[in-house]
Structure 1
Amino acid sequence: MRQATGFLTIDTRRQGLLDISDVVRRWVADQEMREGLLTIFCRHTSASLLIQENAAPEVRIDLEAYFARLAPESADYFHDDEGPDDMPAHLRTALTQVHLSIPVIDGEMALGTWQGLYLFEHRRRAHRRSLALHIAGA
């Protein structure tokens, strides 16, 4: 059994879902493991990770709109240190997830045909996000 760890830096431009499938796929390929388990961890409290539909862009539009309604910007929050999108970003992260576990089979992530990996940026302005990756396998 071998292990590999690393970090990916993802620059976001706006609030919303950003497809990170290719950059993670390249990182996995560089580790040269045929089988194992990949863990991805988002090191932030105002961004999250999702596995979601990667074919129809309307899915991303609908998801973004849903979370905007579910945790809207509001003057009613006590926590607004970084602006009106601060607390809603934390709520949206709490409702999603900051880590994913994905099997690696035959050297590739075992995602379904229509699945992609997404970093979900919950803040309106651009950010530099850090993802920690760990793969254990052979």
Structure 2
Amino acid sequence: MRQASHILAIDGTGSGLTDITAPIVRWSEAQDMREGLLTIFCRHTSASLIITENAAHAVRHDIEAYFARIAPEDANAYVHDDEGPDDMPAHLRTALTGVNLSVPLIDGTLTLGTWQGIFLFEHRRRPHRRSIALHLMGA
């Protein structure tokens, strides 16, 4: 059994979904493992990870709009606003979507479906540099 790890830095442009599949696939393939499990972990409380449709941009738009409705920016709704009006909604959206994913590696390939992509879901309006930890265990 082998293990490999890496920190992937993502420079964001503000709120929304960013497809990070390509650098994750490149890194995992470079580890030259045939079978295993990749864990992807977002090291932040106001950004998250999701696997979703990677072809139709409308899907991303609808996901972003949905989360804006269920965790809206509303100064009267939250006590916590240390970093501005998007602070607490960002934490709620992260709690709802999560910060880690697991993807099996089979025959040297991550087993994402045809239309699946791995996305960093930035919940803050201001651009941030996000740190994504990758850990691959396998053979």
Residue equivalent to 2:5:
5
Superposed CA RMSD in Å reads 0.6
Deviation at 1:107, TM superposition (A): 1.2
Q: Deviations over 1:49-90 (max 9, x none)?
A: 000001110000000000000100011211101000000000
Residue equivalent to 1:71:
71
Kindly indicate whether residue 134 of structure 2 is the aligned counterpart of residue 136 of structure 1: no
Residue equivalent to 1:56:
56
Deviation at 1:14, TM superposition (A): 1.4
TM-score, L = length of structure 1: 0.98
Tell me, in whole angstroms, the C-alpha distance in 2 between the residues paired with 1:36 and 1:24: 14
Q: Which runs of 4+ in 1 moved over 3 A?
A: none
Gaps of 5+ in 1: none
Residue equivalent to 1:33:
33
Tell me, in whole angstroms, the C-alpha distance in 1 between the residues paired with 2:57 and 2:81: 31
Residue equivalent to 1:21:
21
Report the 3-state secondary structure (helix = DSSP H, G, I; strand = E; otherwise coil) of the residue aligned with 2:37. strand
Number of matched pairs: 138
Residue equivalent to 1:99:
100
Kindly indicate whether residue 45 of structure 2 is the aligned counterpart of residue 45 of structure 1: yes
Deviation at 1:118, TM superposition (A): 0.2
Gaps of 5+ in 2: none
